[in-house]
Amino acid sequence: MSERTYLELSEDGGGSHKFYEVIVDGCEMRIRYGRIGDQGRLQAKTFATPEKAKAEAQKKIKSKMKKGYEAAVQGVRKKRPVTRRAIQSTRSSSKRAPIVWKFSTGRSAFGIFIDEEHCWVGNESGKVYCLGHDGSVIRQYGLPDGVKCIVADDEWLYAGCDDGKVDDLSGFKQKTAYEIDANVDIYWLDIKDGVLGVSDNAGNVTTINHEDESQWTRKSSGSSGWMVRCDEIGVYHGHSGGVTMYDWEDGEQIWHKSTNGSVLFGWQEEGMVYAGTGGRVVNSFTKTGESSVTYRCDGSVFSCAASQDGKYVFAGDSSSSIYCFAQDGKRLWKLGTGCGSAFSMQFLNDKVYIVTTDGSLACIDASEEAIKAAEAGQLPQMRDIKASAATGPVASVSDTIETTSDAGSGVVVQCIKDGGKLRVRVLSDGYNKSWNVQFPKNIREEGARYVVDGIREAGRGGFYRAFGDIKRLV
């Protein structure tokens, strides 16, 4: 007969509100954890004997109780709501943007990433779709909680979710790369060289290194941190009090600038930072902290973007309109989306891509010819694609790992205990054996060897990053 222990940690004032359940069934120990009221995530491990499974379960339970968890009855405490961006809809522009294709995910969507090969969208149901530039579905994922954002770091792609997990989508099987406290109400994420930047509802900004360990946390002068952007020198944090830049290494404040209203979204290019605000403007700043051009809209700005050279600046407002400005602030055009307000956006190759309140990923032709035609009422024939029509399996995050007896052309790494913590180091020749490897924590086991598709040195040096699929070597 299985033995079940159910614990909860619930704090007042918006603090922790999570559960931890341990089930021992013979030689198997299963752990389920997450926000109270959610299904949570499941881990399972098999031991040589039932006694060893029970002993490990007791260690887990005692550790949680030391942190304040207490025995509870599941279902008594109710789920707390996750903060979503509020919408106050008003009438949009009567003229419509020239949408080439629209992919309907079925739920409001925040997550977007566009590159030369793919278009990615993630919605509040945890569905993530990888599309071609014609809107066709290449692959799809099912994550346990809503997707807040999708961010890229060199060749790695990550989805930040409401449950505090940051999942690596770079391979065909996603895996958890970072794990933030599930009760931190995450508003936005960004990543650079394997170091994660996190902003939350309380106005905190935190950096987390490649070992999933916090480097520093700072409290900015405002709350509701809807913006965090990272580059080689700093972290740019947008909140209700404006935009604050912190030093990348130690979190020292470099500069702070007020904005025309609370920051609701942020974008960066090489030398500029853009902050869309509730004050109906996009404020821009140089990365040395000098105020630059202000771009004026007719509603609260939910999202913004810019061309790489800064020639054009785009914005999406609360009334489902999209704007384009010249670099000097002159408004060039304003058009309605026809598919809701743009929560996030990106510009690439004369196209503006938006994800919206009705769950659409829309591709808008922003070329001069297409815009002139749209302003004259001439729109392209839009391809309307439904997620429900997508075929093929839906991949999901799993704590299980495939095994193999053949390393083949892969790189062999090993999990060791170093200073009381589990680290991963490279065993294959040609690598610095003293450097750690960024590696999912949930599959680390002391002494275990793994095969990964490849290992690359991080941009900042000092550690390696694993990419592709991971298998346990037996």
CA distance 101 to 458: 37
pLDDT of residue 92: 55
* Contact indicator for 172, 161 with CB cutoff of 8 Å: no
Same fold, 3-71 and 99-394: no
CA distance 472 to 404: 6
What average pLDDT score do residues 412-432 get?
93
CATH number of 403-473: 2.40.50
pLDDT of residue 319: 94
Residue ranges of domains in the chain: 3-71, 99-394, 403-473
pLDDT of residue 347: 97
CA distance 154 to 467: 11
Beta bridge partners of 384: 102
Region of poorest pLDDT, from 63-77, 99-113, 234-248: 63-77
Instruction: Identify which has the larger pLDDT, 235 or 10.
Output: 235
pLDDT at 367 over 90: yes
Count CB neighbours of 406 within 10 A.
9
Mean pLDDT in the chain?
90
Which CATH entry fits the domain spanning 99-394: 3.40.605.10, 2.130.10.10, 2.40.30.10, 2.160.10.10?
2.130.10.10
pLDDT of residue 361: 98
CATH number of 3-71: 2.20.140.10
CA distance 387 to 140: 10
pLDDT in tens, 64-92: 888 788 999 998 888 877 666 655 545 55
Task: Using alpha carbons, select from 96, 86, 85 the residue that is nearest to residue 320.
Answer: 96
pLDDT of residue 77: 87
Entry pTM: 0.81
Q: How large a percentage of the chain has pLDDT more than 70?
A: 93
Q: If you count them, how many residues does the chain have? A: 474
